[in-house]
A and B are shown apart, each in its own frame.
Chain A
Amino acid sequence: MEKLSYQDVNQGVVQRCISGDHRAQYELYKLYSKAMFNVSMRITNDYTEAEDVLQEAFVSAFKNLHSYKAEASFGSWLKKIVINAAINAVRKRRSELVPMDERAVADVADEVNEDESEWQVEQVRRAIQKLPDGYRVVLSLYLLEGYDHAEIGEVLGISESTSKSQYSRARKKLLEIMKEPQFVA
């Protein structure tokens, strides 16, 4: 889990942001916008929507900065805001994310032999983009954002075990997609 790396740098900047210093706000934005945009992008899977989410998240973060207690790193605090905003955006777009545990189990073959071929980052990334919303969100949160199943369950409003089963299905589906002809490197 990539965390805590900026914490010391940020304390002063965060204080200046609270007092309304635009320069400090821009400093934080520069530091985090790319990472946060990619988080938003992975969840929404839509460039415009990801930007809207990023804007909404930063605005709300700067407005609520006084409630940031430095218990966690600023990055993970901000990331939580982004993830929540992104999930809301996806939920607004489609209601199918809500009853995620009711997804048919049968749509993924049980047995996927993890072949020996080398993966490429681009190949994996594009395969993740091809996953349906529910799978993509859980898999991204777990694999890329470093959330554990308890945390995923919390942000998505599902149980930990649902998150686990959802993740394993998503993982299988992902490996399937990567075996499709256009994904074989």
Chain B
Amino acid sequence: MKDRLEKFVQDHREEFDVFEPRTELWQQICQDLPQKSPEKEAKVIKFSFGDRASFSADYFFMRVAAAIVLLLGCGLTIFLMKQQTPESAYTLASSESITTEVPEVGAIAPELPEIEAYYVSQIEEKKSELSEYDMKVLGLDEQQIIDKELARLDSSYTVLKKQLYTSPNTEEIVNAMVQNLGIRVRVLNRQLEVLQRLQKINKETNLKQQTNDTSNV
């Protein structure tokens, strides 16, 4: 015994199902399902037909495409990094030495580069002369003390050079720098003199000994 409403609904049962879920919903469901057999999934592409094939293929291709994009991205990043690092290093170094230092020094104290070059060549010359003497043979350990002194002078020189850019009293600083360089040359000169004298004495004693030896014989 059915009433009219029940009969009506039953007669039109199919027509009551009017809604459809979005097609993307299956993908969402898939993500929540455990992925059991990836090999089987790969095979699906080859053997299935119709909707399923295109769906599986899409899914598979999306993964492959994502992997390729990722790899390309990594490769490109590394490539660009390798290309850029030396380039930027060069530009940095050159910009520092060319654009900031030299013109500024030239602008602040135009005579300084010339003086610097002169003293540096002097210092190098003395140093090479000094290195010709063999300290141990001459019985001198003083070289270490001189090296320390030169290093101290060098560090105070760099401090002065930095101050040159910031301090308004450029003349005083340039004088100090020149003095610094002068002291270095003098230190080296004195060391040279000492060494020369020592060598002379050594030679004389050697000669005396030799003459003594020969006279003894």
B57 at the interface (CB under 8 A from A): no
Closest Cβ–Cβ distance, residue A4 to chain B (whole Å): 15
Contact B26 A47 (CB under 8 A): no
What is the predominant secondary structure among interface residues of chain B facing chain A? helix
B19 touches A38 (CB 8 A): yes
Of residues 9 to 27 in A, which have CB atoms within 8 Å of B's CB atoms?
19-23, 25-27
Residues A33 and B21 in contact in the complex (CB < 8 Å), given A20-B37, A143-B5: yes
- In which size bucket is the chain B interface? 20 to 34
Partner of B16, one of A21, A27, A144: A144
* A37 pairs with B52, CB closer than 8 A: no
Report B-chain residues with C-beta under 8 Å of the C-beta of A35.
17
B29 contacts A29, C-beta separation under 8 Å: yes
Contacts of B44 in A (CB 8 A): 22-23
15 chain-A/chain-B pairs, Cβ below 8 angstroms: A22-B30, A22-B56, A23-B52, A33-B21, A34-B17, A35-B17, A37-B20, A54-B21, A55-B28, A55-B32, A63-B33, A63-B34, A121-B15, A121-B16, A144-B13
Cβ of A62 within 8 Å of any chain B Cβ, yes or no, is: yes
- Whether B4 sits at the interface, judged by CB under 8 Å, is yes
Asked if B52 and A54 sit within 8 Å, CB to CB, the answer is no
Q: Please state if B36 and A20 are interface contacts (CB–CB under 8 Å).
A: yes
Number of A-B contacts (CB under 8 A): 82
In the complex, the answer to whether A34 meets B32 with C-beta atoms within 8 Å is no
Complex contacts, A143 vs chain B, CB 8 Å: 5-6, 9
Cross-chain contact B9 with A124 (CB below 8 angstroms): yes
Residues of A within 8 A of B4 (CB): 114
**B-contact 0/1 string along A77-110, CB 8 Å cutoff:** 0000000000000000000000000000000000
Question: Is B16 within 8 A of A125, CB to CB?
Answer: yes
Question: Does B41 contact A26, Cβ atoms closer than 8 Å?
Answer: no
- Tell me the complex Cα distance, A125–B8, Å: 12
Write the residues of chain B forming the contact surface with A, with a CB cutoff of 8 angstroms: 4-6, 8-9, 12-13, 15-22, 25-26, 28-30, 32-34, 36-37, 40-41, 44, 48, 51-52, 55-56
Q: How far is the CA of A21 from the CA of B12 in the complex (A)?
A: 35
User: With an 8 A cutoff between CB atoms, is A149 at the interface?
Assistant: no
Cβ < 8 Å to B, chain A residues 42-80: 47, 50-51, 54-55, 58-59, 62-63
A125, closest chain B residue (CB): B16
Min CB distance, A14 to chain B, in Å?
15
Q: Judge whether A2 is part of the interface by a CB distance below 8 angstroms.
A: yes
In the complex formed, the residue of B with least CB distance to A140 is B16
Residue from A2, A34, A62, A124 in contact with B8 in the complex, judged by beta carbons closer than 8 Å: A124
Determine the distance from Cα of A171 to Cα of B34 in the docked complex, in whole angstroms: 43
A119 at the interface (CB under 8 A from B): yes
